[in-house]
Structures are given as C-alpha cells and as structure tokens.
Structure 1
C-alpha cells in the first residue's frame, strides 16, 4: 500500500492540495482536468457568474450525468472515449506552451 501524499492541483486558476496515493494520482489528475474543463465551459458560456455558482452548476451537471448513467441512459464507453479525447487535447495544448 502506498503512502498518502499531497498533490498540488489547479482548478480554474485556484491551487489546491489533495491527498492521494501514488496509485490514485493518475486518476486524480484526470478528474482534475475533467472538472477544470467542465467548470471553464460553464464559465465561458457566460450564463453563470462566480466561482461558487460555477462549481455548484458543474456538480449538478455531473450528478445528473452520473445518475443517468446508473439508469442506463448514458453510454459509459462513449463517456470514456470523450474523456480520453479531452485528455489528448489537453496534452497537445500543454505541449504547445
């Protein structure tokens, strides 16, 4: 079992330290990237203002998607493919910097 360590992450320009093991780190970083993108999408839509409101709307949207996936209304394979494509786009964007 790995030791729990603090991992520094950035979501919408705000820094956080999250505890996880080395095994959990890749999944955590994927989740951070996914959450950051979702929150930025909501912010960029211009319909929601304020980080707290953006976070709540993102949580609501993700909760809705999760609950629908449990009822079979969402294709998990499609979601995994979309997340993978987003991760590739993020990786490419980071390489350009």
Structure 2
C-alpha cells in the first residue's frame, strides 16, 4: 500500500491504495473534471450536490459501458459456439 495525495475540486485528499501514483492521479483528475463539468452545466450551489451529480454521471457511464461489454462477451460466446460446431462437423 502506498499513500497518494490528490486534489479534487480544490480539496486535498490523502488516499491509501495499491494503485500506482499515475493511475491515482488520473482517476482524481477524471473526478475533478466531472465535478467541474457539473458545476458549469447546472445551477448547483453546494459541493456535496455537485459531487453526487458527478458520481451519478460517472455511474451512468460505467453501467452503459458494462452493458455494452456484456453484450460483446455474449456475442463472442455465440461466435465461439458456432466455430466449435463447425469444427466438430
């Protein structure tokens, strides 16, 4: 475990993680960017509301991508099964 200091939306956070510092910084920058996008696009006044809206947006993106990946995995399995049946004759 290592400790990484990051800044998100003007606040410093000390994180204890197994991830390398570049990955941690990249994640922190992503979250910071999302929060600033929420601030710019909405008339939200509190940091906590901005954080919740950013978390919601990030979760929505994640779930959409996960659904797409699951569909791709299913499609790959179908193709593998077809190939297996062709090869078995």
Q: Answer 1 or 2: which has greater helix percent.
A: 2
Question: Which residue among 10, 13, 19 is the counterpart of 1:13?
Answer: 10
Match of 2:53 in 1: 57
RMSD of aligned residue pairs (Cα, Å): 1.6
Q: Runs of at least 4 residues of structure 1 off by over 4 A?
A: none
Match of 2:34 in 1: 38
Match of 1:67 in 2: 63
Match of 2:20 in 1: 24
Shift of 1:20: 2.2
Between the two proteins, the alignment pairs up a number of residues equal to 69
- Tell whether the 8 Å contact from 2:35 to 2:54 is kept in structure 1 after alignment: yes
| The structure with more radius of gyration | 2
Structure 2: stretches of 5+ with no match in the other structure: 70-89
Question: Which residue among 43, 50, 65 is the counterpart of 1:47?
Answer: 43
Shift of 1:59: 0.5
